[in-house]
A and B are shown apart, each in its own frame.
Chain A
Amino acid sequence: MEDQHNRTLLQHLSYDKQNPLLLSLERAFQNAADFQSVCVGHADEKQIYLCSLISLGGSDHLKFHMESGQGEALQTNLDSYTGTKYTVGDYPACEKAICAGKTILCTHDSSSGIILDTENPRQRGLQQPQTENVIKGPMYSFNEHYLTNIALVRQRMQTPRLKIWETTVGDITRTKVGVLYLEEITDPGLIQYTCDKISRIQTDGLQESGEMLRLLNPKTGLFPAAVTTERPDRVSASLLNGKIVILLDGTPFSIIAPGSFFDFWESAEDQYLTPFIAVFLRLLRFMALMMNLFLPGFYVAITSVNIDVNRLEISLAAAAGREGVPYPVWIESILMLFLLDCIVEAGIRLPRSISSTVTMVGGVVLGQAIIQANIVSNLLVIISATTALTNFIVVDYQMGLVQRILKYFILAGASFLGILGIVFCFSIIIISLSRMKSFGISYLTPLGPDARARSSSLGLLGKSHHFSLTNWLNIGKGELP
């Protein structure tokens, strides 16, 4: 850099011989092998240093040239910087900036430094969603880079009304967190509530949105407090619907809040289909939920406790199928469901090339063998297979896991009190849901009180083209904020 320019630049720096920035940074990043501080020139007899983490910062923004210095030794001098406008920061700001991949320009005795935006984020390209596949609709999803995710939302919502409140969470990880909302559409109380909650989070680090959700709603228990999605189209639809979206750096999953139990049965694709088909699909999912939860319990109830409830023919067929099975029905059922859950879990965790083999061995070979060995009845194999199948229909992975646990709870109730036990378990589940709140809003929205008021009901959106089952099921009176 030219001497005149260097002098102007260095005038921005402050000097305090007691606390030189360079020394403080070198001390802070001691033993960090990827930290480097190099002398890149001098001005007014002051040596100029560049400090950065080479693993995060890219040198694409900086240009160097080499020249022979004193004693004809070659010297590398900073020639130019291309990038956004630089800022000046003190030690804490510089330390934070280095951790974020930026480069600090300082002299050997300055107490502040010039922060150059040389960040070079490591990120994968846009890919298809891994957990929310659709036949019709956008085919890309978020990735792990915060700004890329914001950009994807901005591309879909080209309005200045899209606001972002930003903060960092985690004393060590300093994870960037953004709360997105649409001005004049989202309930200001909800924004305030969420931002306050996030500000109050005290943790060392944050890795994923699920972790964030737990910290924000510690009392939700078994059920997930809100929907998480990796689809930008779902995010923008939710924003239009008056919800807020929380994006985290380092994860492709964003949080759509507040969550309602019924949201977990809505697929992103539903909005792109005609209402009748969407209703049919949701009914299908709802029926699948019922079968998944209650079928094993119902089987146990009608074959061991309330034998007279069923038609005699079916009862006789069930009894004949169980001939030779040495265990009570409930043990037989738990055994089968547990095995099936193991197969499912193995299929998910193993590499794809092996998982299909495991599923084949587990499902077909083990299933056939277990019947021939008279450990379980034929009917129970059908019940278990149906239960497993209906579990895969669940749109949301978190809710699918909850269902896998709840079916054991209902099975226990059915084993103990038959159909009445199922009713009691059902009641307890519903009561638990009714007591839950997600971001201060009823988890059973649209069933009030404390149900969320839809943005369209506030008269801010005009006629909404967005299809939502909540419109159809608006039994609870939504309350205006």
Chain B
Amino acid sequence: MKSSSAQLQLSMTQYFGLQIMVFGAISFYLYPYFVIHATGHGFWIPILIWMPLSLAGSWLFSRMLALHQGEDAFSIVKRELGWTGIVLFILPLIWFMWRSMVVMISAHMEIISMAILPTTPAWVIAGVIWIAVFLASGGIGSIVRTGMIFLLVSFPISLALTLLGLSNVEFSLGKPWLHTTGDFLFNRKFYASSCIWTGYLYMAASGKFTKTPGKLWKPYIAASVCFFPLILGTVYLPVLTFGAEMSRNLTLPYISKMDSIYHYWLVIENLTAVFISSAMLYVILTLALLLHMIVAALRVIFRGWNDRWLYVIVGAATYASTLYVPSWDWIEKAVEWDSPFHLYLMYLFPLAVIVKSLFSERKKSHP
């Protein structure tokens, strides 16, 4: 019997489940917009480029955790790099996570207002953060258990909606399939589209709950492969339905695609409502994971602070910030501005810690 969360052990299946939930939370709203705007054709190429790159990042990240088994990324950074590490990595990570939460809530708030609850005030919908605070304050065990149930509910719905979306597509609209000029490499939106591949960073706090942190990249790969058809669907379903040009003019191409699905045998006419409802489960879980991570990071800096209060403070700060988000344009820009940040954290953060740890090891063995 386990008495404290410090003794918790998570299985690779559970990490896989969490990764799927993270993919679900960040893939559906801005990602299709970025990819469709990044290039004119061969959308699968910019999608596919980031996949192996993120796998390399996740491998680096798991190597970093494996060097200091039983510790979270923040404790490792503090121990290896001291206050320099905190300033260089932990503070940017907290900033990035907090921004991710604000963007995620604001984006979904906008989508909900546009699609299903036009008259409901934004401050009510933004209250979803408090559900996430409630979940996060239960600890990682509670997050994982909830994640498994949410996964069982939301993933089949997402899969079914993607399959339903295939019913009225015109494959010729996706041409040319293989031709590319590499134009996306010079487009900022291509780099912004890497935001959905940052999922393994969310394991910075929860990576310590396994006996084999060096293998944490495996559930990430498995989740990427399993979710890949849905990621392709978010981009290609609108393109193959409306065409690339028209999709480019839509604010939310995938939501518009959901709106266009009609089958006489479907009891539910508005599939957008179903899609958004199931997506909210991904969002709640990912927000809780982010909150848990931010609080774990803050604990490294403010040692004696009460966890419960930290959750409430972070939740309140996020809630207040989302209410000050001025427009949908700002959300798009925010993700673009954050691209250098998350690329820095995806690769440089684990790499720096690994290099420093190896140097320290060498120093110890050859004093």
- Inter-chain contacts of A308 with B (CB < 8 A): 269-270, 273
| Cβ < 8 Å to A, chain B residues 105-152 | 112, 116-117, 120, 124-125, 128, 131, 134-135, 138, 140-146, 148-150
A450 and B149 contacting across the interface, CB-CB below 8 Å: no
CB of B158 closer than 8 Å to a CB of A: no
Q: Would B11 and A477 count as touching, CB distance under 8 A?
A: yes
Interchain CB contact (< 8 A) of B14 among A310, A311, A427, A449:
A449
Q: Mark A418-452, 1 if CB is under 8 A from B, else 0.
A: 11101110011011011100001110100111100
User: Which of A419, A440, A442 lies in contact with B277, CB distance below 8 A?
Assistant: A419
Which listed segment binds B: A31-39, A101-109, A186-194, A270-278?
A186-194
Residue A386 lies at the interface, judged by CB distance under 8 Å to chain B: no
**Chain A residues whose C-beta falls within 8 Å of the C-beta of B134 in the assembled complex:** 428, 431
User: Are B146 and A450 in contact, with the CB atoms below 8 A?
Assistant: no
Contacts of A479 in B (CB 8 A): 2, 9
B280: contacting residue among A418, A420, A477, CB under 8 A: A420
Q: Interface readout for B257-298 with A: 1 if CB under 8 Å, 0 if not? A: 000000000011110011011101100100000000000000
Contacts of A435 in B (CB 8 A): 138, 142
Q: Is the CB of A417 within 8 A of B14?
A: no
Within 8 A of B (CB), among A437-481: 440-442, 444, 447-450, 475-477, 479, 481
Nearest A residue to B278 by beta-carbon distance? A423
Partner of A427, one of B11, B112, B268, B281: B281
For A443, the closest partner residue in chain B by CB is B145
Q: Given A306-B273, A308-B270, A442-B141: A424 and B128 within 8 A (CB)? A: yes
Q: How large is the interface on B (under 10, 10 to 19, 20 to 34, 35 or more residues)?
A: 35 or more
Contact, CB under 8 Å: B145 / A434: yes
Question: In this assembly, does B3 line the interface, its C-beta being within 8 Å of a C-beta of chain A?
Answer: yes
Bound form: Cα–Cα A20–B270 in Å: 87
B131 lies within 8 A of A447 (CB)? no
Which B1-37 residues have a C-beta within 8 angstroms of A?
Answer: 1-3, 8-11, 13-14
By the criterion CB–CB under 8 Å, are A448 and B14 in contact? yes
Chain B facing A: main interface SS: helix
In the complex, are the beta carbons of B141 and A420 less than 8 A apart? Answer: no
Chain A, residues 299-310, CB within 8 Å of chain B (1/0): the string is 000000110111
Contact flags A383-422 to B (C-beta < 8 A → 1, else 0): 0000000000000000000000000000000000111101
Bound: A431/B130 CA distance, A: 12
- Which chain A residue shows the least CB distance to B149? A430
In the complex, how many angstroms separate the beta carbon of B109 from the nearest chain A beta carbon? 11
Contacts of B124 in A (CB 8 A): 417
Contact A448 B273 (CB under 8 A): no
Indicate which residue in A190, A418, A427, A477 contacts B284 across the interface (CB closer than 8 Å): A427
CB closest chain-B residue, reference A301? B273
- The smallest C-beta distance from B253 to any residue of chain A, in angstroms, reads 21
In the complex, A145→B116 CA distance in Å? Answer: 59
Closest A residue by C-beta to B150? A430
- Pick from B3, B14, B120, B273: contact of A440, CB under 8 Å: B3
A312 sits at the interface (CB 8 A)? yes
A433 to B149, CA, bound (A): 11
Q: How far, in whole Å, are A449 and B17 apart by their CA atoms in the complex?
A: 13
Cβ A434 vs Cβ B138 within 8 A:
yes
* Most chain B CB within a 10 A radius of its CB, from A189, A310, A433, A449: A449
Q: Which residues of A contact B273 (CB under 8 A)?
A: 306, 308-309, 419
Residues from chain A with a CB closer than 8 A to the CB of B143 are: 434
Q: Would you call A431 and B135 a contact (CB within 8 A)?
A: yes
- Would B146 and A434 count as touching, CB distance under 8 A? yes
Expressed in whole angstroms, the Cα–Cα distance for A417 and B3 within the complex equals 39
Interchain CB contact under 8 A, A310 and B141: no
Q: What is the bound-complex CA distance between A305 and B277, given in angstroms?
A: 14
* A420–B284 alpha-carbon span in the complex (Å): 12
Q: Is the CB of B281 within 8 A of A449?
A: no
Q: Is the CB of B277 within 8 A of A423?
A: yes
Partner of B11 from A306, A420, A434, A476 at Cβ < 8 Å: A476
- The A169-214 residues at the B interface (CB cut-off 8 A) are 187, 189-190, 193
B116 A189 Cβ-Cβ under 8 A: no
- Most chain A CB within 10 A, of B125, B145, B209, B268, is at B145
Q: Contacts A418-B116, A476-B11 known; A447 to B276 CB distance under 8 Å?
A: no
Residue of A423, A431, A434 most packed against chain B (CB within 10 A): A431
Q: A423-B277, A424-B131, A441-B1 are in contact. Are A447 and B145 (CB under 8 A)?
A: yes
The residues of B that contact A444 with a CB separation of less than 8 Å are 145, 148-149
Q: Is the CB of B281 within 8 A of A423?
A: yes
B1 is contacted by which of A418, A420, A440, A475 (Cβ under 8 Å)? A440
Question: A309 to B267, alpha carbons, bound, how many Å?
Answer: 9
Q: Assuming A305-B117, A431-B134, A431-B135, is B11 touching A440 (CB within 8 A)?
A: no
Assuming the A-B contacts A441-B1, A475-B13, are A431 and B144 also in contact, with contact meaning beta carbons closer than 8 angstroms in the complex? no
Asked, given contacts A190-B1, A431-B134, A476-B11, whether A423 binds B280 with beta carbons under 8 Å apart, the answer is yes
Contacts of A311 in B (CB 8 A): 267-269
Q: Are B116 and A431 in contact (CB under 8 A)?
A: no
Are the C-beta atoms of A448 and B144 separated by less than 8 Å?
yes
Residue of A nearest to B3 (CB): A440
Name which of A427, A448, A450 has the most chain B CB atoms within 10 A of its CB.
A427
| Nearest chain A residue, comparing its CB with the CB of B8 | A449
Residues of chain B with a CB closer than 8 A to A430's CB? 146, 149-150
Chain B residues with CB under 8 A of A305: 117
Report chain A residues within 8 Å CB of B1: 187, 189-190, 193, 440-441, 481
Sample 27 A-B pairs with CB under 8 A, ordered by A number: A187-B1, A189-B1, A306-B116, A309-B273, A309-B274, A311-B269, A417-B120, A419-B273, A419-B277, A420-B116, A420-B117, A427-B135, A427-B150, A427-B281, A428-B134, A431-B131, A431-B135, A434-B135, A441-B1, A442-B141, A449-B11, A449-B144, A450-B2, A475-B148, A476-B148, A477-B11, A477-B13
Instruction: Please report A residues at the B interface, Cβ cutoff 8 Å.
Output: 187, 189-190, 193, 305-306, 308-312, 314, 417-420, 422-424, 427-428, 430-431, 433-435, 440-442, 444, 447-450, 475-477, 479, 481
Besides A308-B273, A311-B269, 6 more A-B contacts (Cβ < 8 Å) are A310-B267, A310-B268, A420-B277, A449-B8, A476-B145, A477-B13
Contact surface of B with A, Cβ cutoff 8 Å = 1-3, 8-11, 13-14, 112, 116-117, 120, 124-125, 128, 131, 134-135, 138, 140-146, 148-150, 209, 267-270, 273-274, 276-278, 280-281, 284
